[in-house]
Amino acid sequence: MTVETVAPYTLPVVRRLITSHTPEGKGTIHRDEKVESYLSPIKGCRITPLWTTTESPAINSEQTLDGAGLAPDRMHIVSTNGSHIGAFDVAPGLEVPTHRTSTLDYIILVNGELTSVMEDGTESILTPGDIVIQRGTQHKWENRGTTWARFIAVLVDAKPVELVNKEGENVVLKEGWA
């Protein structure tokens, strides 16, 4: 399927509950709302930003209730020194190009089927309920199925991967698109 013939978008709008505290310190639901996705810079992909923090540990005081309005500052998905959670939707027949982020990601596939393709060629087909712990690796996502796929990802800012290569040299792996 080419970008020009992307399948109609059929996934439901994401519902977000934000909790908080009453003046007496009791837990309460602060906001219960639907969050619309937007077209990603990657054709055939949609992003629903759900919450962003700008520091770690995060502050859960009332003054931080703007996390729904904050935007990641790197690659549309990474928050420097903080975290970001979002829903990421990939159209059938399309792929998210190879990339690396300097983050620790917790990824849960909730709709459709998605193939995780690693830089060395290894791959794994994911089905709803599967979880990926992405540790700053170069990878891409392919939707080889016939329906839209959605994964929820929590990206926690991390130090860039450092390793010693075959020549014994220290190497820092940079984030970005391949």
How many domains does the structure of the chain reveal?
1
* Structural contact between residues 148 and 91, judged by C-beta atoms closer than 8 angstroms: yes
- pTM of the entire predicted model: 0.90
On average, the pLDDT of the chain sits at 91
- Is 70's pLDDT higher than 90? no
Domain span including residue 54: 3-177
Cα–Cα dist 133/28, whole Å:
31
Phi-psi region of 93 (alpha: psi -120 to 50; beta: other; left: phi over 0): left
Task: Tell me the HSE value of 63 on the side-chain side, using a 13 A CA sphere.
Answer: 1
pLDDT tens, residue by residue, 2-44 = 444 689 999 999 999 999 999 999 999 999 999 999 999 888 9
pLDDT tens, residue by residue, 75-127 = 667 788 889 999 999 999 999 999 999 999 999 999 999 999 999 999 999 99
CATH value at residue 156: 2.60.120.10
